[in-house]
Amino acid sequence: MESKIAPVKMFFFPFVGGGHQIPMIDTARVFASHGAISTIITTPSNAIDFNSSITRDQQSGLNITIHILTLPPNIAEITDMSAGPMTDTSALLEPFKDFLIHDKPDCIVIDFFHRWAGEVVDELQIRRLMFTGNACFPRCVQENIRKHVQLEDLSSDYEPFVVPHLPNRIEMTRSRVPIFLRNPSQFPDRLKTMKNLEEKSFGTIVNSFYELEPAYADYIRKDFGMKAWLVGPVSLCNRSKEDKTDRGKLSTIDEQSCLNWLSSKEPNSVLYVSFGSLARLPDQQIKEIAYALEASDQSFIWVVRTTTSSSKNEENGGADFLPDGFEERMKENQKGLIIRGWAPQLLILEHEAVGGFLTHCGWNSTLEGVSTGVPMITWPLSAEQFSNEKLVTDVLKIGVQVGSKEWGIHTEEWKEVLGREKVELAVKKLMGKSEEGEEMRRRVKEIAGKARKAVEEGGTSYAEVEALIEELKALRV
């Protein structure tokens, strides 16, 4: 009976940029693995980043394709993984609309940052789902700050306040709050458009899983009235070594040498250090991290990038800014592996030698740390990362804070250089053999087990994918 109903046809329109494109591609693959016909809409160069994993999916029988938009002449393609929230993609409007006019799906999942796309889709009367890339928790934190806290009444940027009406006691300061909440008048159109985009949509797809943040998943549904499907962690759809290695971009390190290096280490003894796909650290901050790692005698893998202003050094990944002889010493005593460019993050995180993750708390990295059972040192910088930090350290209790407190935009000057002492202290706290560290490790491994269960048959995320597919089918009648 059921097989007579045609599969649902879903389009996915990801935003360029690591933290957005990567999880949306995985989401399209997840839905295809549940029998949907998935089409990813993108531009020529961006398709290169995920083409091979889609080909592998096709070879294994999944119904998934890439639709390439032909750009109007003289329009430069936005291909950089470091495209940020302000990047305007509206040059894609015409080819995007043209494609939709000729080929209508049951629904289209759109990234929040394609601010112009909602209107086009609504005009064509196509069911639209949103993808923000965030979890439920930061949503609740930010929305309740927006609604209930008079930030301008605080005595300083550093006066702590408790975010009202949340299931947990979450303390914040103004310095950790995104600029668009601190100065909403500066962004009136952007905020209004984004709010409209979501309110008028059919619902939201969330890369998270119910057991991770049950109170907050309930909160967005009941208190905010959002229709949301928690379908993650979507990164767990990468099961083969190939998929894990070249996820997002081709790795700049040979994955086998990376794995060999890790295999020479004791379980839980290596710290993985990465600040995601966007952040570029200034030289001074890179130096402080290097000194801290060396002083703490910690084995590490470090993905090093420099500030955008130092782009001439981008190619060598900031080698000039590492302290004199640091890299040679780390190589000689086998303490550290430095990766310049793109690391095979999933492969690294799931290796048993990795016992800690120093992260900027981008949601994907955070969730990848959670689902591979790795406790974290949290170093939030921007976006909703300061909220993610609170989820990790105050709610889930699976990480220690390095102590960053200044929210900034990655394109602007770096606001706060953290000294080596702070970094070293956090490294020792997490990686040293303390009871506190062991307890965090135990807790995160337990949560990782729940993450894996969630995406398997019988799990919550699995059920939510199925539920959305069934709902879309039912709506055809």
Rounded Cα distance between 11 and 73, Å, is 25
Interface with ligand UDP by CB under 6 A: which range of 61-69, 167-175, 274-282, 465-473?
274-282
Least distance between ligand UDP and beta carbon 120 (Å): 25
Q: Decide: residue 152, CB within 10 A, 0-12 exposed, 13-18 middle, 19+ buried.
A: exposed
**Edge-first strand listing for the sheet containing 336-340:** 336-340, 299-304, 270-274, 354-359, 376-378, 399-401
Asked if residue 277 binds ligand UDP (CB under 6 A), the reply is yes
Least distance between ligand UDP and beta carbon 470 (Å): 29
Give the containing element (helix H, strand E) for 203.
strand 203-206
Which residue among the candidates 111, 243, 246, 283 is catalytic per the annotation? 111
Interface with ligand UDP by CB under 6 A: which range of 211-219, 264-272, 359-367, 432-440?
359-367
Asked if residue 345 binds ligand UDP (CB under 6 A), the reply is yes
Residues 6 or more apart whose Cβ sits within 8 Å of residue 400: 376, 377, 378, 393, 426, 429, 430, 440
| Residue 354 backbone phi and psi in degrees, to 5 | -80, 120
Asked if residue 248 binds ligand UDP (CB under 6 A), the reply is yes
Asked if residue 369 binds ligand UDP (CB under 6 A), the reply is no
Least distance between ligand UDP and beta carbon 86 (Å): 14
Asked if residue 278 binds ligand UDP (CB under 6 A), the reply is yes
Interface with ligand UDP by CB under 6 A: which range of 84-92, 202-210, 323-331, 337-345?
337-345
Active site residue 26: no
Structure tokens that stand for 63 in this block: 């119904």
Among 27, 207, 364, 404, contact with ligand UDP (rule: CB under 6 A): 364
| Residue 281 backbone phi and psi in degrees, to 5 | -85, 145
Q: How far is CA 273 from the centre of its chain?
A: 15
Among 14, 85, 138, 276, contact with ligand UDP (rule: CB under 6 A): 276
Among 96, 113, 363, 407, contact with ligand UDP (rule: CB under 6 A): 363
Least distance between ligand UDP and beta carbon 5 (Å): 34
DSSP state of 387: H
Asked whether the beta carbons of 338 and 293 are under 8 A apart, the reply is: no
Interacting residues with ligand UDP between 97 and 136 (CB under 6 A): none
Rounded Cα distance between 469 and 461, Å, is 12
DSSP state of 444: H
Least distance between ligand UDP and beta carbon 21 (Å): 9
Asked if residue 365 binds ligand UDP (CB under 6 A), the reply is yes
- The nearer residue to ligand UDP, 115 or 247, going by C-beta atoms, is 247
Asked if residue 233 binds ligand UDP (CB under 6 A), the reply is no
Interface with ligand UDP by CB under 6 A: which range of 44-52, 362-370, 428-436, 445-453?
362-370
| Dihedral over alpha carbons 437, 443, 445, 448 (to 10 degrees) | -130
Active site residue 111: yes
Q: What is the DSSP string of 355-374?
A: EEEEE---HHHHHHHHHTT-
Give all strands (DSSP E) within 323-397, no chain letters.
336-340, 354-359, 376-378
User: What x-and-dash track marks residues 1-40 binding ligand UDP by CB under 6 A?
Assistant: -----------------xx--x------------------
Among 342, 386, 414, 462, contact with ligand UDP (rule: CB under 6 A): 342
Give all strands (DSSP E) within 56-190, no chain letters.
64-68, 107-111, 128-131, 161-162, 171-172
Asked if residue 274 binds ligand UDP (CB under 6 A), the reply is yes
Rounded Cα distance between 464 and 449, Å, is 18
Least distance between ligand UDP and beta carbon 306 (Å): 14
- The nearer residue to ligand UDP, 127 or 410, going by C-beta atoms, is 410
Give the containing element (helix H, strand E) for 460.
helix 460-476
* Residues catalogued as catalytic: 20, 111
Which spans of this chain sit near ligand UDP (rule: CB under 6 A)? 18-19, 22, 247-248, 274, 276-278, 303, 342-343, 345, 362-365, 368
